[in-house]
Amino acid sequence: MRRLQWQCRRGLNELEVILIPFLEQQYCDLSSDEQSTFEVLLAYPDMDLFDWFTRRAVSDKADVQSLVEKILSRVESKF
């Protein structure tokens, strides 16, 4: 878990605000496939993640995009 916390630390604060709370509050509730996808997601460059989380672009990988949508729905439900 510490490795994932470190990987959630990004160059863009906007991404940290999304990723760190998701890791702390939702990661354990994900299926093992979704947890693996989360680790894959963290390997992408910041600008790809920023574009996906701001809905400027979508991932070409369905499992990654599905997780992005899940993360966004959690963020949107907070507001």
More confident residue, 75 or 36: 36
pLDDT tens digits along 10-37:
989 999 999 999 999 999 999 999 999 9
Phi-psi region of 7 (alpha: psi -120 to 50; beta: other; left: phi over 0): alpha
Query: What does pTM read for this prediction?
Result: 0.91
Q: Which domains does the chain have, with CATH numbers?
A: 2-78 (1.10.150.250)
In a 10 Å sphere around its CB, with 0-12 CB exposed, 13-18 middle and 19+ buried, how is residue 25 labelled? exposed
Instruction: Please tell me whether residue 44 adopts helix, strand or coil conformation.
Output: coil
Core vs surface per residue 47-70: b (16+ CB within 10 A) or e: eebbebbeeeeebeeeebbebbeb
pLDDT tens digits along 55-66:
999 999 999 999
